[in-house]
Chain A
Amino acid sequence: MRLLTHNMLSSNIKGVTNGFPLRIEVEKVVEKQVDLNPDFLRSMFSKIDWKALVHAARSIGYSELPDEADPSMLDSDDFLRRFHHALLQLHLEEGALICPETGRRFPVNKGIPNMLLHEDEV
């Protein structure tokens, strides 16, 4: 699972109001190369939650993103490279996503988070 997917996903337990961002518990991270697409990154920048991305990247061992970012930084190749790497090239392969409100653990196996709920959570 890429951090871009993580950046969209909220805890889905009934009654939870602050389900975003899910905390990450890491067992294994893999890196997969993809071509850098500057136009895509520029259009994604306004849609993603930067703080959540920085935090998620750090929790899987990548701390090259600045704490704060603004659109002017998208002119820098160096910034785009880091943003691209964090958003699209790092994958949480094994581990878990943790609901920030309840602490409920959603396991991630072979890169696939299991967000199925128990009967009493729906």
Chain B
Amino acid sequence: MKLKQLEGLVGDLQQFSNPKVELEQYPTGPHIASRMLFTAENSFGDVSNKVVADFGCGCGTLGAAAALLGAEHVIGIDVDSQALEIASLNAEDLELDIDYIQCDIRNLVWKGQAVDTIVMNPPFGTRKRGADMDFLFNALKVASEAVYSLHKTSTRDHVRRAALRDFNASGAEVLCELRYDVPQLYKFHKKKEVDIAVDLWRFVPKK
């Protein structure tokens, strides 16, 4: 599948109708989602024929993109039942077979390194400090091959240090810097739309 095609398909997905600020629910835009999964597949072979989990899947954009690129089994996990409902409908619309689990990522217990690849757009931790690091910590515990994640560029050094020193990663690489447009979703947003710089990371867990 071509990048443009993938971007078009995930661009049609339904997004949050009532986003919850405490969960930092922001949709993962089609531009970022398609590039993230396309890179994972075409540069590293981490998607097709693999077991892929989408941590904090929200409306399921990243997991859907993984399934479209040939992941054999996709699991989306989110704490919010409304988001999962939308994610299920999105998967149905695209005729994708995706499993969803309602769970707080911090309390997820899996048997060993059960999944090959984890993709995630974690809460950036602006409302709740360290939320993105909780996601990363847990992702590196259960992934066997790779973790793809987005973090604010301003936190780059901190993310690298934590991943390599504390979180069981043997590799941590910024693949590219992207612009994340945050639409005016919440009342406290004063500007119509802001652009923040985010890094697309690829982490490799220790075996």
B99 to chain A, nearest CB (A): 5
Q: Considering the chains assembled together, what is the distance between the CA atoms of A115 and B79 in angstroms? A: 9
> Are A8 and B114 interface neighbours, CB within 8 A?
yes
A102 to chain B, nearest CB (A): 13
- Which residue on A lies nearest to B99, using beta carbons? A5
> Are A9 and B104 interface neighbours, CB within 8 A?
no
- Which residue on B lies nearest to A6, using beta carbons? B99
> Are A115 and B114 interface neighbours, CB within 8 A?
no
- CB neighbours (8 Å) of B79 from chain A are 116
Known contacts A2-B73, A5-B75, A40-B49: A115-B115 contact under CB 8 Å: no
- Which residue on B lies nearest to A115, using beta carbons? B103
Q: Considering the chains assembled together, what is the distance between the CA atoms of A114 and B103 in angstroms? A: 7
- Is A39 interfacial (CB 8 A cutoff)? yes
B207 to chain A, nearest CB (A): 13
Assign chain A's interface to a size class: 20 to 34
- CB neighbours (8 Å) of B108 from chain A are 12, 115
- CB neighbours (8 Å) of B104 from chain A are 116-117
Q: Considering the chains assembled together, what is the distance between the CA atoms of A115 and B77 in angstroms? A: 10
The number of residues on chain B lying at the interface, defined by a beta carbon within 8 Å of a beta carbon of chain A, is 24
Interface residues of A in 73-118 (CB under 8 A from B): 88, 110-117
> Are A12 and B107 interface neighbours, CB within 8 A?
yes
- CB neighbours (8 Å) of A115 from chain B are 101-103, 107-108
- CB neighbours (8 Å) of B110 from chain A are 8-10
- Is B97 interfacial (CB 8 A cutoff)? yes
- Which residue on B lies nearest to A44, using beta carbons? B51
- Is B41 interfacial (CB 8 A cutoff)? no
A30 to chain B, nearest CB (A): 11
- CB neighbours (8 Å) of A111 from chain B are 88, 99-100
- Is B84 interfacial (CB 8 A cutoff)? yes
- CB neighbours (8 Å) of A39 from chain B are 49
Q: Considering the chains assembled together, what is the distance between the CA atoms of A9 and B77 in angstroms? A: 12
A2 to chain B, nearest CB (A): 6
- CB neighbours (8 Å) of A24 from chain B are none
Q: Considering the chains assembled together, what is the distance between the CA atoms of A5 and B109 in angstroms? A: 12
- CB neighbours (8 Å) of B73 from chain A are 2, 4-5, 88
B22 to chain A, nearest CB (A): 15
- CB neighbours (8 Å) of A7 from chain B are 111, 114
Out of A8, A88, A114, name the residue touching B102 (CB < 8 Å): A114
Given A1-B99, A34-B97, A40-B72: 4 more A-B contacts, CB < 8 Å: A2-B99, A12-B109, A110-B88, A112-B100
Q: List 30 A-B contacts (CB under 8 A).
A: A1-B99, A1-B101, A2-B73, A2-B99, A5-B73, A5-B75, A7-B111, A7-B114, A8-B111, A9-B110, A10-B109, A12-B109, A19-B109, A20-B111, A34-B97, A37-B49, A40-B72, A43-B49, A47-B112, A47-B114, A111-B88, A111-B99, A111-B100, A112-B88, A112-B101, A113-B101, A115-B102, A115-B103, A116-B103, A116-B104
